[in-house]
Amino acid sequence: MRILKRKISVVGLVAMCALPSLAWSEDPAPTAAPAAMDQQAKFSYLLGWRMASELENFPMKLDPKALMQAIQDRMAGSPPKIDKTEMEKVRMEMMASFQKEKARQVEELGGKNRAAGQAFMVENAKKSGVMTTPSGLQYQVLVEGKGGKPKATDQVTVHYRGTLLDGTEFDSSIKRGQPTTFPLDKVIAGWTEGLQLMAQGAKYKLFVPPQLAYGKMGSGGVIGPEATLIFEVELLEIQPAQSTP
């Protein structure tokens, strides 16, 4: 989990209050507010409740009393209970701890994804129509094309849909209703290789192992480390690279 240093601005406070009613649907049923709570008190309680919800997934157990004491001291203009030198020391120690834990989690998840991907590719290679290239890329022809094939230096326009092994869709130009155009040598290696196998008008399914996709880092939060990806790609147009005079 990423640890972000966040500042709550006036705009941020307003945004917290502007959350749709659905955002409250998972909270427990409210108890009756004390009659003494005026609008300011209720608003303050609202902010406190939402701030606490932001901290629920914090990667360590917090001390609510110390947290509230810090808020009270800061709002009252009182000096902090811990001096700045000690605060910075604690911050650096905790950041190091968080980073170590994050690396452990990424490595653990990467190992699981890698094993699942390898098992999938072994079985997938046995299926009729699935071809495997020397790099480890697998592909299946859904529709043959009739035009020319692109070079790595060309620009192509495609429609595509990308999913994880469990079927989770992480990207789709089809859903957006707009094909995508890009230089073929500026995308993941599995695409650079796979699309050069396709003639214009073809539609292929590409099975891309992690070393030809996003590797150990993953991408965008949805694509985890060492994830094997599946793409359905339709090659709509090839724009040859302009030759240099």
Supply the residues annotated as catalytic.
160, 170-171, 188, 214, 231
- Taking the CA of residue 128 as centre, how many other CA atoms within 13 Å lie in the half-sphere pointing to its CB? 0
Contact indicator for 194, 160 with CB cutoff of 8 Å: no
The Cβ of residue 125 has, within 10 Å, a number of other Cβ atoms equal to 13
Tally of CA atoms within 13 A in the half-sphere of 135 that contains its CB? 17
- Structure-token pair, residue 104: 């452990």
Please name which of 214, 216, 171, 221 lies closest in space to residue 2, comparing C-alpha atoms: 221
Token duo for residue 204: 């292929």
Report CA-CA distances (Å) from 195 to 163, 168, 238.
Answer: 17, 23, 10
Residue 55 is which amino acid?
L
Q: Where are the beta strands (DSSP E) in 167-241?
A: 169-172, 180-183, 203-208, 229-239
Token output for 17? 């209050």
